Structure 1
Amino acid sequence: MFSLDNVIENIVGNGRYQIFICLCFSALGISSSYMNTASVFIAAMPDSRCRIEPYDNITAYPNINETEITKLFIPVNDITKKPDRCQRYAFNASCKDIRDSTCLFGTNTGNEMQTVQCDAGYKYDRSSFEETIVTEWDLVCDKVGISFLATSLNYAGLLVGSLMGGLVADRFGRIAVLRVSSILS
């Protein structure tokens, strides 16, 4: 005898088709999770300091290492107790001997040293990440908010897409919207 219970019992279950459908929907979820966590790696903020020209030029000054440049030209941040990312000491760039502090800084010493904002770009620690959007577009110091804004706009787009997707699905049908959004995603 034909009844709805018999039809449902034959359709519902853990057959190959149901497993295939679950795997297809899971693949959509996996790809979207990559997009949601990508900003952790794409917008990673490595350690940085002001580029000190001409002393960062290894060919012109091969005997100066990173530690010496940081100690001489970069002030220590009072809060983090690390070299400052956004400031450097003002110095005379025409000095040939980096070890001659009178030529470099004049009579300024210790706490009297004048600091200026980075004007020659930034030097990044590339030991963890070779290139990120922060290093590519110098999104440090006064431009640090741009990388946070990009992540926020991404999630705002997901929110709007979810809300609009629900409204469009009610209007045109869930299967059609699912197919179109899967292709677009």
Structure 2
Amino acid sequence: MGKQLLAICCRRRFDDLLAAFKKATLKALHSSGTEEEYNELDQLLQDIVDLIDAAATKKKTLKKVQDERETDGQLIRDAALVSLKRKAVDDEVERVAPVVATFTEMMLESNKIKAEEVATKKEEIMLAQQKLELERARYELDKAEREARFAVEKKEREHRGKLYIMDAM
């Protein structure tokens, strides 16, 4: 009983804070705490609101996709049933034509989407290749710079060695 009461109280406090945040009345909270606590609370509540909105959007999208699938499936089943029956009645012909047209439109739309996905994938691959080429060029430049620096340092050491030998004589 105690844990359930605590959970209910926490939920009510969370709901109150969220409602206050949405109404932009957190300024009253500002006077009761430090600036850092207020900013942290404000940021956390904004993150929670964003997560709740994202979850709601995802749920709506999934529901829409499911509804479209069910509708599309029903249209396909209707088209299949109509093609199996093959009645010569004019009413049937008039009813089948829009279903077939809708099915054809769905297939065309599906093909367009696939083509867009392929084009997007090609762009991604091209960008990745360009990035790889740039990294390779950067590596080659760095390598050439290191080799040049090494050659200069080698010449300096040889020159110092000659000077040292000359001073020793």
TM-score of the pair, normalised by structure 2? 0.31
Larger relative contact order (CA 8 Å, sep ≥ 6) = 1
Of Structure 1 and Structure 2, the greater strand share is in 1
Structure with larger Rg: 2
